[in-house]
């Protein structure tokens, strides 16, 4: 009787705490959910509408067969299915970018709101009461499941509104939900396995990159087609929305998500607060390299993230470079596809220079987000009070933020150089006609657009630190979506001119737009200066 009464009292005390935790979790993820969901839904709907207005009457059966059989196309975009349907074409064209965007966001969010909160000590008081760590984790899993469902439903509704088949839209949304939940599970499990937020994020990002690589190999190499079943990205293609509409891959995705979520809860029950199941030895000699100056300290903190981004970008562009020769053969045999690509804003894809120019233009989204992530980490360290000793030193705030921005700008430039060297190396392996000078010119030509994202993020650090990610991503993610939507809707010229992507010349196949480049650099510098001024005047966050 006494035991039963004690259990009932514990449940009574846990219930209000549980509701409060759910409310807190919703507040932490609601903005990101709406932003990512809106971007994914908008991108999918726009491509579906664009297909019906531009491509539907232009692609014949022979061209579709050639597209599906080309290995370069399969590696880059996945296996083409139901390309004669606007929904099938949209899934093939945007499925991987949409899932990568949603997957990266929800995975890093899972690490941030669990392991990140624990590392900063915000869970100490919470877990000192009756609520257990596993209970907190379960509630965060529930909230992120709602976020994943919101994103998936947004995409499904967007596809249905665009006029695609309702059954296919439901299968696609279900596949997207299952894959997104799988990546959320990776984030939760990594947060329980690793001893810190940074190591957990690194492990999760590595697993996501491995999933993308497995998908590319499964689609590009016929003998490895079976491996698509072990990658969430490959399972979406196996579900074949708008074609066969298979259920079995959806069940596999659901199984992956459930196993990872249960594994995360089990791991939470078997570790100490502030530690991970994977232990790191604390007995090692002191490392004082690059700690002699503020610049060295900023460079030291940026080394690992920059190296990780460089490895990912370099690997991708080596593969892209190796596929250039195959792409050129495809466009030579099917010139109509090159004409349709030009109508969609990607002219010159039938030449090596034009092909890499288009990819370097899209690369600014990745490098711009790298810059945004670095400044978001800077604000997170401020919130966690890791800068307390630095603020107490004679070093000014302006110098602290300015050094961080300068080091990030150098890292941004290095990423563009890595992409140039990687695509040239891949092209050289297969004998594609691409010179190293042209690759360098094309990569550096687009760097000022990423510099705009860095400037916008710096502005947010000074004036709106809670929205560094959203404000910083506006020039690259928002600019790209505006360009695509405006092109599809045939918007007035002044609307198109708002997007920086309209002003990027297709270097090396065309001469650079010097005035636009100077404008980007000046605007980015002005945003940075205003951000530093605001950072000097505002209160510190905590």
Q: What is the dihedral of CA 149, 152, 155, 159, to 10 degrees?
A: -110
3-state secondary structure of 17: helix
What is the rounded CA–CA span in Å between residue 493 and residue 536? 39
- Count other C-beta atoms under 10 Å from residue 147's C-beta: 26
Let me know: does 179 contact 232? Beta carbons within 8 Å: yes
**Which pLDDT score, from 0 to 100, does residue 415 have?**
95
Give pTM, 2 decimals. Answer: 0.79
Let me know: does 162 contact 49? Beta carbons within 8 Å: yes
Let me know: does 478 contact 449? Beta carbons within 8 Å: no
Query: Which residues touch 262 (CB under 8 Å, ≥6 apart)?
Result: none
**Which pLDDT score, from 0 to 100, does residue 6 have?**
47
What is the rounded CA–CA span in Å between residue 333 and residue 88? 23
163: region left, alpha or beta (phi > 0 left; psi from -120 to 50 alpha) = left
Give the pLDDT confidence of 206-234 residue by residue, as tens digits: 888 888 888 888 877 778 888 888 888 88
Gyration radius (Cα) of the chain, Å: 24
Burial code (b: 16+ CB inside 10 Å, e: under 16) for 495-504 equals: ebeebbbbbb
What is the rounded CA–CA span in Å between residue 258 and residue 185? 8
Which runs of E-coded beta strand occur in 237-386?
none
Half-sphere exposure of 279 (CA within 13 A, CB side): 7
Predicted confidence pLDDT, tens digits, the chain (542 residues): 444 544 444 444 455 777 888 888 899 898 889 988 988 888 888 888 877 776 655 565 556 666 666 666 777 777 777 777 888 888 887 888 888 888 888 988 998 888 888 877 777 777 777 778 888 889 999 999 999 999 999 999 999 988 889 999 999 999 999 999 999 999 999 988 888 877 888 888 888 888 888 888 887 777 888 888 888 888 888 898 998 899 999 999 999 999 999 999 998 888 877 777 777 655 556 666 667 688 888 888 889 889 988 988 998 888 888 888 877 777 777 776 666 666 555 556 667 888 888 888 888 988 998 999 899 888 888 877 777 777 777 888 888 999 999 999 999 999 999 999 999 998 888 888 888 999 999 999 999 999 999 999 999 999 988 888 889 988 988 888 787 777 766 778 787 788 898 888 888 888 888 999 999 999 999 999 999 999 988 888 75
Q: What angle do CA 43, 46, 48 make, to 5 degrees?
A: 110
Omega of the bond leading into 54 within 30 degrees of 0 (cis) = no
Burial code (b: 16+ CB inside 10 Å, e: under 16) for 261-271 equals: beebbebbeeb
Compute CA 64 distance to the chain's CA centroid, rounded to the nearest angstrom.
Answer: 30
**Which pLDDT score, from 0 to 100, does residue 132 have?**
81
């Amino acid at each position: 009787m006494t035991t039963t009464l004690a259990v009932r009292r514990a449940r009574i005390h846990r219930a209000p705490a549980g509701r409060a935790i759910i409310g807190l979790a919703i507040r932490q993820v609601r903005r990101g959910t709406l932003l990512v969901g809106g971007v994914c839904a908008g991108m999918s709907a726009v491509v579906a509408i664009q297909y019906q207005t531009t491509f539907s009457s232009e692609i014949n059966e022979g061209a579709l067969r050639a597209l599906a059989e080309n290995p370069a196309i399969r590696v880059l975009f996945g296996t083409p299915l139901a390309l004669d349907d606007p929904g099938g074409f949209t899934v093939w064209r945007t499925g991987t970018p949409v899932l990568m965007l949603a997957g990266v966001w929800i995975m890093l969010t899972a690490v941030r709101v669990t392991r990140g909160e624990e590392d900063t000590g915000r869970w100490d008081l919470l877990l000192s009461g009756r609520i257990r760590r596993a209970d907190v984790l379960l509630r965060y899993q529930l909230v992120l499941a709602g976020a994943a469902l919101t994103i998936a439903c947004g995409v499904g509704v967007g596809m249905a509104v665009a006029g695609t088949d309702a059954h296919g839209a439901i299968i696609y949304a279900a596949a997207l939900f299952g894959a997104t939940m799988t990546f959320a599970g990776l984030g939760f499990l990594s947060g329980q396995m690793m001893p810190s937020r940074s190591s957990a994020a690194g492990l999760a990002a590595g697993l996501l990159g491995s999933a993308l690589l497995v998908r590319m190999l499964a689609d590009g190499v016929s003998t490895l087609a079976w491996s698509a079943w072990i990658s969430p990205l490959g399972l979406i293609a196996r579900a074949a929305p708008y074609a066969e509409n298979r259920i079995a891959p959806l069940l596999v995705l659901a199984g992956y998500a459930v196993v990872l979520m249960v594994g995360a809860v089990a791991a939470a029950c078997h570790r100490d607060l502030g530690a991970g199941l994977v232990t790191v030895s604390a007995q090692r000699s002191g490392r004082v390299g690059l700690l002699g100056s503020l610049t060295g300290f900023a460079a030291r903190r940026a080394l690992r993230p920059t190296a990780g981004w460089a490895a990912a970008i370099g690997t991708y562009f080596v593969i892209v470079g190796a596929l250039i020769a195959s792409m050129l053969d495809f466009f030579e045999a099917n010139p109509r596809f090159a004409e349709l690509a030009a109508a969609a804003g990607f002219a010159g894809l039938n030449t090596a220079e034009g092909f890499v120019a288009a990819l370097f233009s899209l690369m600014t989204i990745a490098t711009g987000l790298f810059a945004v992530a670095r400044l978001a980490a800077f604000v997170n360290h401020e919130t966690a009070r890791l800068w307390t000793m630095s603020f107490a030193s004679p070093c000014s705030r302006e110098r602290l933020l300015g050094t961080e921005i300068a080091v990030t700008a150098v890292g941004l430039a290095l990423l563009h150089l890595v992409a140039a060297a990687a695509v040239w190396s891949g092209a050289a392996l297969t004998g594609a006609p691409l010179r190293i000078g042209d690759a360098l010119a094309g990569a550096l030509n687009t760097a000022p657009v990423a510099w705009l994202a860095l400037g916008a993020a710096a502005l947010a650090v000074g004036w709106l630190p809670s929205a560094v990610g959203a404000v910083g991503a506006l020039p690259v993610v928002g600019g790209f979506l505006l360009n695509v939507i405006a092109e599809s809707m045939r918007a007035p010229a002044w609307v198109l001119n708002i997007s920086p992507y309209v002003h990027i010349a297709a270097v090396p196949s065309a001469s650079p737009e010097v005035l636009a480049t100077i404008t980007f650099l000046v605007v980015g510098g002005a945003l940075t200066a205003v951000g530093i001024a605001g950072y000097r005047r505002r209160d510190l966050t905590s």
